[in-house]
Amino acid sequence: MPPLLSLIREFNDFDKHRLLSLTMQHVMGGNFGFITPMIGKPTFHYLKTPIVNGVEFFYFTLTPPQPDVQYDCQASFAISVSHAQGPSGTHTSEILYFLDVLIKEVRQVVDFQIRV
């Protein structure tokens, strides 16, 4: 994430316009299995951009191609918040992680101010 104080300023700016910058960003986890016996090895592909209604977020390819393959897929998604790009190059963070880090930072600043 970028510096937390800049994120607070960014969210304050969003709030002035009554906007909330939430996205359903990524698949957090899940289970995937093949019911049909397969020949070869599957290649898995995941969407790496924000998820919108109706988008294909996951698919697989089989080499060699095989007809009528049955599979079972379960996925869970993370609600994320959009922000300025951080040092790692990402521009979203899971909201629970983001709030946890932000609360810890604010507590440190407040505790420091009380001691001074």
State the average pLDDT for the chain: 79
Q: How many CB atoms are located within 10 Å of the residue 25 CB?
A: 23
Q: What angle do CA 79, 7, 5 make, to 5 degrees?
A: 140
Return d(Cα 50, Cα 21) in angstroms, integer: 12
Single pTM value for the model: 0.50
- Please provide residue 50's backbone torsions phi and psi, each rounded to the nearest 5 degrees: -55, 140
Name which of 6-10, 71-75, 93-97 the model is least confident about: 6-10
Q: What is the pLDDT of residue 89?
A: 84
Q: What's the whole-number mean pLDDT along residues 100-111?
A: 86
Report the chain's terminal Cα–Cα distance, integer Å.
28
Q: What is the pLDDT of residue 24?
A: 57
Q: What is the pLDDT of residue 20?
A: 57
Residue 12 has pLDDT above 80, yes or no: no
pLDDT tens-digit readout, 14-69: 666 665 555 656 667 778 888 988 888 888 887 766 677 787 878 888 889 888 88
